[in-house]
């Protein structure tokens, strides 16, 4: 345990903890999706299940997720360094205020959900709409638990205690899996999926409480609305809330268009989106969460050079890790979908459509991974307006793209539109930050990109050659055959990428090269 505590004290260590548990959580998430697809296929039940997230997510993701932590952490750290007691008073005030606001919206959405669902998924059958309303109302309960959990997580992140925070998503996925495996087999039927979400949100909250107690926090039932820190937090949150609302309306528009395309389109879009979010969550979000407190501290202390170097290094690290995943997903998209989702009621038609959608999503994988980091860099300098303006413009691009490409090429067109909007979002964030906030190390970033892309192209060639050679040696009609082909192709392609990285002396693998060099020198010395 002491090793974990020491590991959390550094940016790299915090990122490692978050990434490791993110990998574990994402793997469990893949198992969750496999169980969902195998049990129900890409049909009306999963369409209703994923559509039911839209209203709860609209409330929580808009008002709490991201908006709260980005505004709370810098101010909490500022007050905690001066007066710990005052910092805890601020924490209690904001927790109690948010709880009341969220409760209000939960009640409102519970009442209006039938009308909202009728508009949002107009292409669904009446039975699917009715199920969506029922699932939505149950899932609204989870929003309250997530609110508590997010406040706790923000406090823990401020203290760089990432372990419990990183375990929370694991518990959430386990709750959903319990719903799929057990609750749906009871008289609840498909409603067991929604109760699994509620159970997962409760476990997400529960797992973080012991770590919160160890920080010295104690809940108190008071609300100090006139406190200047509370006003500052809300002021910083509002633009971010607007940006997140844009993002949620983005998903609502996608759900609306998908509901009119074909049965299963909503499920296919979400399943493919979850697959591409595997590397985004592991690398992009993990590093963004880990680097945010340091960037905030650098800004508060006026260390602009350190801010720029840390931020630029994080950009290079993310690009080094996610661009190879782009190659993997494009070259092996059908294999990935067949291995992870292709069982039970998930048909070959579902597999083909999901693979096509995954391919289009993958084109903007690097942009999707860097957007959270750039957003947090803006928040660290207490600029929450610029990302909102850029997000709004990107949202409009995505709406136009969905309306045009959705009916034209189906659910894959929705993914293509999302990728286009993500690329534009990233380019604008990069350009504005470099020109208006502080210069980035463009030279280093540019050289790194050239090397990474070169290595990735070499990797792509290796994967393609290996994929076709191995296919002739195994039975591709079986799970084992697809697994062997995929694993060997990834190992061969990854070996080329890693070897080229050693040759180019990438920082991310330089320590391995130095370790090997020391071992070889030691062996030569012994032989002499």
Instruction: With cut-offs at 50, 70 and 90, classify the pLDDT of residue 417.
Output: very high
Please enumerate in sequence order all residues whose Cβ is within 8 A of that of 320, keeping only pairs 6 or more positions apart, or say none: 448, 452, 501, 506, 508
Largest CA distance in the chain: 83
Q: Say what the pLDDT of residue 56 is.
A: 94
Please enumerate in sequence order all residues whose Cβ is within 8 A of that of 91, keeping only pairs 6 or more positions apart, or say none: 76, 151, 155, 217
pLDDT averaged over the chain? 88
Where does 410-505 have alpha helices with state H? 411-432, 442-471, 479-503
Residue 501 has pLDDT above 90, yes or no: no
User: What percent of the chain has a predicted confidence (pLDDT) above 90?
Assistant: 58
Q: Say what the pLDDT of residue 67 is.
A: 64
Q: Say what the pLDDT of residue 13 is.
A: 60
E strand or H helix at 4, and its extent? helix 2-8
Task: Provide the sign of the torsion angle of the four alpha carbons 221, 227, 229, 234, taken in this order.
Answer: positive
> 408: closest CA among 263, 251, 260, 275?
260
The C-alpha atoms of residue 132 and residue 266 are separated, in whole angstroms, by 12
Q: Say what the pLDDT of residue 78 is.
A: 85
User: What percent of the chain has a predicted confidence (pLDDT) above 70?
Assistant: 92
Q: Say what the pLDDT of residue 247 is.
A: 79
The C-alpha atoms of residue 9 and residue 412 are separated, in whole angstroms, by 43
Q: What is the DSSP letter of 386?
A: H
3-state class of 175 per DSSP? helix
- The number of C-alpha atoms within 13 Å of 249 and in the hemisphere containing its C-beta is 13
- pLDDT tens string 376-406: 898 888 787 888 889 889 999 999 999 999 9
The C-alpha atoms of residue 107 and residue 196 are separated, in whole angstroms, by 21
The C-alpha atoms of residue 252 and residue 269 are separated, in whole angstroms, by 12
Q: Say what the pLDDT of residue 284 is.
A: 84
Residue with tokens 């909102």: 388
- Residue 502 has a CB neighbour count (10 Å cut-off) of 13
- pLDDT tens string 470-494: 999 999 989 999 999 999 999 999 9
The C-alpha atoms of residue 369 and residue 267 are separated, in whole angstroms, by 23
Q: How far apart are the first and last CA of the chain?
A: 43
- pLDDT tens string 15-66: 677 667 878 888 999 999 999 999 999 999 999 999 999 999 988 888 777 5
The C-alpha atoms of residue 311 and residue 291 are separated, in whole angstroms, by 8
Are 165 and 210 spatial neighbours (Cβ–Cβ below 8 Å)? Answer: no
Q: Say what the pLDDT of residue 193 is.
A: 98
Distances (CA, A) of 312 to 218, 235, 305, 321, 427: 38, 28, 11, 15, 15
506 in the Ramachandran plot: left (φ > 0), alpha (ψ -120 to 50) or beta?
Answer: beta
3-state class of 395 per DSSP? helix
Q: Say what the pLDDT of residue 177 is.
A: 97
Q: Say what the pLDDT of residue 517 is.
A: 63
Residue 215 has pLDDT above 90, yes or no: no
- pLDDT tens string 294-325: 888 888 788 888 888 889 988 998 999 899 99
The C-alpha atoms of residue 23 and residue 27 are separated, in whole angstroms, by 6
Are 136 and 56 spatial neighbours (Cβ–Cβ below 8 Å)? Answer: yes
Average pLDDT on 193-212 reads 96
- pLDDT tens string 60-79: 888 777 567 767 888 888 88
| Angle between helical axes of 411-432 and 365-380 (0-180°, round to 10) | 40
E strand or H helix at 156, and its extent? helix 126-158
Q: Say what the pLDDT of residue 513 is.
A: 61
Residue 5 has pLDDT above 60, yes or no: no
Q: Say what the pLDDT of residue 205 is.
A: 95
Q: What is the DSSP letter of 183?
A: G
Task: Provide the sign of the torsion angle of the four alpha carbons 376, 378, 384, 388, taken in this order.
Answer: negative
The C-alpha atoms of residue 146 and residue 65 are separated, in whole angstroms, by 9
Are 32 and 175 spatial neighbours (Cβ–Cβ below 8 Å)? Answer: no
E strand or H helix at 187, and its extent? none
Where does 64-83 have alpha helices with state H? 67-80
**More reliable by pLDDT, 169 or 157:** 169
Instruction: With cut-offs at 50, 70 and 90, classify the pLDDT of residue 234.
Output: confident
Average pLDDT on 245-252 reads 86
Q: Say what the pLDDT of residue 427 is.
A: 96
3-state class of 467 per DSSP? helix
- pLDDT tens string 282-301: 888 878 877 877 888 888 78
Instruction: With cut-offs at 50, 70 and 90, classify the pLDDT of residue 256.
Output: very high
**More reliable by pLDDT, 72 or 129:** 129
Distances (CA, A) of 166 to 30, 35, 155, 282: 17, 23, 13, 11
> 134: closest CA among 221, 10, 48, 247?
48
Q: Say what the pLDDT of residue 525 is.
A: 59
**More reliable by pLDDT, 265 or 242:** 265
Instruction: With cut-offs at 50, 70 and 90, classify the pLDDT of residue 257.
Output: very high
Instruction: With cut-offs at 50, 70 and 90, classify the pLDDT of residue 520.
Output: low
Least confident of 116-120, 162-166, 339-343: 162-166
Which tokens hold the place of 341? 């989702």
**More reliable by pLDDT, 451 or 160:** 451
> 354: closest CA among 370, 369, 341?
341
The C-alpha atoms of residue 240 and residue 68 are separated, in whole angstroms, by 9
Where does 182-279 have alpha helices with state H? 191-206, 209-214, 228-259, 265-279
- Class of residue 222 by CB neighbours under 10 A (exposed 0-12, middle 13-18, buried 19+): exposed
- pLDDT tens string 87-118: 899 889 989 999 999 999 999 999 999 999 99
The C-alpha atoms of residue 190 and residue 192 are separated, in whole angstroms, by 5
Q: What is the pTM of this model?
A: 0.85
């Amino acid at each position: 345990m002491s090793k974990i505590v020491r590991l959390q004290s550094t940016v790299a260590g915090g990122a490692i903890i978050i990434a490791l548990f993110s990998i574990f959580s994402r793997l469990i998430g893949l198992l969750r999706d496999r169980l969902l697809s195998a049990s129900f296929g890409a049909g009306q039940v999963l369409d209703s299940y994923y559509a039911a997230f839209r209203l709860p997510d609209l409330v929580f993701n808009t008002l709490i997720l991201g908006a709260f932590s980005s505004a709370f952490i810098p101010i909490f750290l500022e007050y905690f360094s001066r007066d710990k007691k005052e910092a805890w008073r601020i924490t209690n005030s904001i927790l109690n205020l948010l709880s009341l606001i969220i409760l209000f919206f939960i009640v409102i959405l519970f009442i209006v959900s039938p009308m909202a669902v009728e508009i949002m998924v107009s292409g669904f059958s009446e039975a699917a709409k009715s199920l969506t309303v029922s699932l939505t109302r149950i899932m609204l309960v989870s929003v309250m638990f997530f609110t508590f959990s997010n406040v706790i997580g923000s406090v823990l992140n401020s203290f760089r205690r990432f372990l419990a925070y990183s375990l929370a998503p694991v518990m959430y996925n386990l709750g959903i899996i319990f719903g799929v495996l057990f609750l749906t087999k009871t008289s609840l039927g498909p409603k067991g999926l929604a109760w699994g979400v509620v159970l997962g949100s409760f476990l997400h909250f529960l797992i973080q409480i012991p770590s919160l107690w160890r920080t010295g926090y104690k809940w108190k039932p008071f609300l100090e609305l006139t406190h200047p820190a509370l006003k500052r937090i809300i002021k910083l949150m509002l633009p971010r809330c607007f940006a997140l609302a844009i993002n949620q309306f983005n998903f609502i528009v996608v759900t609306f268009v998908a509901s009119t395309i074909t049965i299963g389109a909503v499920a296919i879009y979400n399943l493919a989106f979850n697959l591409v979010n595997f590397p985004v969550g592991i690398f992009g979000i993990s590093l963004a969460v880990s680097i945010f407190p340091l960037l905030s501290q650098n800004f508060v202390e006026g260390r602009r050079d350190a801010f720029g170097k840390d931020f630029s290094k994080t950009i290079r690290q993310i690009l080094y890790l996610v661009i190879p995943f782009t190659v993997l997903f494009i070259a092996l998209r059908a294999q990935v979908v067949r291995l992870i989702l292709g069982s039970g009621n998930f048909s070959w038609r579902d597999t083909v459509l999901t693979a096509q959608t995954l391919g289009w999503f993958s084109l903007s994988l690097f942009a999707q991974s860097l957007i959270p980091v750039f957003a947090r860099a803006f928040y660290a300098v207490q600029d929450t307006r610029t990302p909102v303006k850029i997000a709004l413009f990107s949202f409009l691009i995505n709406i136009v793209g969905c309306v045009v490409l959705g009916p034209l090429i189906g659910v894959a067109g929705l993914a293509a539109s999302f990728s286009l909007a993500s690329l534009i979002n990233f380019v604008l964030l990069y350009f504005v930050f470099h020109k208006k906030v502080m210069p980035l190390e463009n030279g280093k970033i540019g050289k790194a990109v050239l090397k990474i892309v070169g290595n990735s192209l070499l990797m792509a060639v290796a994967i393609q050659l290996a994929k076709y050679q191995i296919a002739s040696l195994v039975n591709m009609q079986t799970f084992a055959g697809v697994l062997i082909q995929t694993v060997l192709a990834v190992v061969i392609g990854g070996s080329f990428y890693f070897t080229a990285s050693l040759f180019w002396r990438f920082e991310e693998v330089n320590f391995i090269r130095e370790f090997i060099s020391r071992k070889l020198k030691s062996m030569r010395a012994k032989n002499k």
